[in-house]
Amino acid sequence: MSLATHAGTFVLGNRPVTRMGYGAMQLAGPGVFGPPKDPAGALAVLREAVASGVDHIDTSDFYGPHVTNRLIREALHPYVDHLTIVTKVGAVRGADASWNPAQRPAELVSAVHDNLRNLGVDVLDAVNLRVMGDVHAPTEGSIEPQFTALAELQQRGLIRHLGLSNATSNQVHQARGIAEVVCVQNHYNLVHRADDALIDELAALGIAYVPFFPLGGFTPLQSDALSSVARRLGATPMQVALAWLLARAPNILLIPGTSSLGHLRENLAAAALSLDAAVIDELTAIGATAVAAH
């Protein structure tokens, strides 16, 4: 059994994927802008991820921009049949590395074609609409024009499955009235728990929940309690944080990102880390404390 497959599987649309995936964002340069410092190392990370059982890669053409998709193509094309590549549209990068909304239907259509071209495919496995009402957190607002534009591309055969990123429960409901939603990708981790209710709601619907920044993102998770649990288990704090996410709900799919082979192996090894009920409760209390303090 390869490393990633210890996490088990969940069906993303009609595609079974291992619950331990890989996020390509960190393969771009600093600030997710420009080329990687070590292009050969980036290619090696992608190839080892797939060789280790990862069959779900998250990316976007606005990473770089255009950097991570081209790296994925160079490293892995022609793609194995069981590999699912999920991308997202809805933003563009400014010359100053800023993240700017690109939500008009014409911009979304253009972005889909950019992803097709740079990944080297005729159809995208899955496309998430990145809602940009607030760059940092989900905010309410209609997404009907945007999601309809993507649904039309799906009907034309350019996209297999659709999802949402940075979305609220109401936006998920609105989108499901337009086309099937197979995944929701929001900010969530051991201490950032705003989506607890949404995760359970999606689990009941059979929809995957994909937490971004599962390890805290640009500010790694810091917790004395987490470190204490990790020491007792003989694991790293980041491995324990990933294992807690896998235990949190069966519909959670992980996409931890790294540009390091060592960190990749460490992340994937978390799939085999078993947490008993008492440890899960102890870790869950960390998040409850953080929420109360906030």
Which residues form the catalytic set? 63
C-alpha to C-alpha distances, 12 to 94, 137, 208, nearest whole angstrom: 32, 24, 6
d(Cα 176, Cα 108) in Å, to the nearest integer?
Answer: 18
Q: Is 186 exposed, middle or buried (0-12, 13-18, 19+ CB in 10 A)?
A: buried
**Alpha helices (H) along the chain:** 39-51, 67-76, 105-119, 144-155, 169-176, 196-205, 224-233, 237-248, 261-269, 277-293
Distance, CA of 148 to chain centre: 22
Count Cβ atoms below 10 Å from residue 16 Cβ, excluding itself: 14
Amino acid at 243: A
DSSP letter (8 states) at residue 230: H
- 118: tokens are 């740079």
Give yes or no for a contact between 65 and 99, defined as CB atoms under 8 angstroms apart.
no
Count Cβ atoms below 10 Å from residue 95 Cβ, excluding itself: 6
Largest CA distance in the chain: 53
- 75: tokens are 């490293």
- 130: tokens are 């990145």
